[in-house]
Amino acid sequence: MSPKMPRNVVAVTPGGQITKDMILGFIAMCQVPNAPQSIAKLRRLWLAEGLDDSLIPKERKPVNIFKMACRSVETRRSEALKSTEVKVDEVLENENECVYQVTQLVRNKDDKLIEHPKAMRLTFNKRTGTIEHDALDKKTYRALKFIAQQVQDDFERNSSKVPGAKIRRAIRATLRDQHATLIQNKGVFFVPTAGKVSLDSIDNVLKGLYGDGGDAELFVIPCANDDGERAMIARHFQGNVADHIDGLLAEITMRLKAGKEVRKDRRESLVTERRKLNEAVERYRDMLDDKLLVVGEKIRLLDNGLEELLGM
**Which residues are paired to 298 by β-bridges?**
none
| Domain annotation covers residue 113 | yes
> Three-state DSSP class for 188?
strand
Does residue 120 carry a pLDDT above 50? yes
We report the CATH number of the domain holding residue 100 as: 3.30.565
One domain, residues 182 and 66: no
Nearest partner of 64 among 53, 56, 72, judged by Cα: 72
Q: Across-strand partners of 101?
A: 89, 121
User: Is 43 in the same domain as 172?
Assistant: yes
Q: Are residues 28 and 52 in the same domain?
A: yes
The domain boundary residue, chosen from 141, 159, 177: 159
Q: What digits encode the pLDDT tens for the residues 77-104?
A: 777 777 888 999 999 999 999 999 999 8
Shared-domain flag, residues 106 and 178: no
Shared-domain flag, residues 175 and 134: no
What is the Cα gyration radius of the chain?
Answer: 27
Within a domain: 79: yes
Q: Are residues 172 and 196 in the same domain?
A: yes
Specify the pLDDT at position 123.
96
Identify whether 8 is part of a domain: no
The answer as to whether 6 is a domain residue is no
Opening angle at CA 39, ends 31 and 153, nearest 5: 95
What percentage of the chain exceeds 90 in pLDDT?
52
* One domain for residues 91 and 132: yes
Alpha helices in 9-163 (DSSP H): 39-48, 62-72, 138-144, 146-158
Q: Are 312 and 262 in contact (CB under 8 A)?
A: yes
Query: Is the same domain home to 171 and 155?
Result: no
Give dist(CA 305, CA 237) in Å, integer. 22
- Residue where one domain finishes, among candidates 206, 224, 242: 224
Kindly state whether residue 7 falls inside one of the protein's structural domains: no
Same domain? 44 vs 174: yes
Is residue 109 included in any domain, yes or no?
yes
Q: How far apart are the first and last CA of the chain?
A: 79
Position 251 in a domain: yes
Query: What domain range is 74 assigned to?
Result: 62-159
Question: What is the per-residue pLDDT across 246-305, written as a single tens digit (0 to 9) for each?
Answer: 999 999 999 888 887 888 888 899 999 999 999 998 889 888 876 667 788 888 999 998
CB 206, CB 218: distance < 8 Å: yes
Q: Is the same domain home to 44 and 79?
A: no
The structural domain count of the chain equals 3
**Residue 86 β-bridge partners:** 75, 104
Instruction: Return the higher-pLDDT residue of 126 and 80.
Output: 126
Q: 101 and 86, same structural domain?
A: yes
C-beta of residue 46 within 8 angstroms of C-beta of residue 56: yes
pLDDT of residue 297: 85
DSSP 246: H
More confident residue, 288 or 30: 30
Quote the mean pLDDT of the chain: 87
- What span, in angstroms and rounded, lies between the C-alpha atoms of 121 and 148? 9
SS3 181: strand
* Same domain, yes or no: 191 and 278: no
Whether pLDDT at 14 is above 80 = no
**How many Å apart are CA 245 and CA 305, to the nearest integer?**
11
* pLDDT computed for residue 312 by the predictor: 58
- 169 falls within a domain: yes
Domain boundary among 140, 159, 178: 159
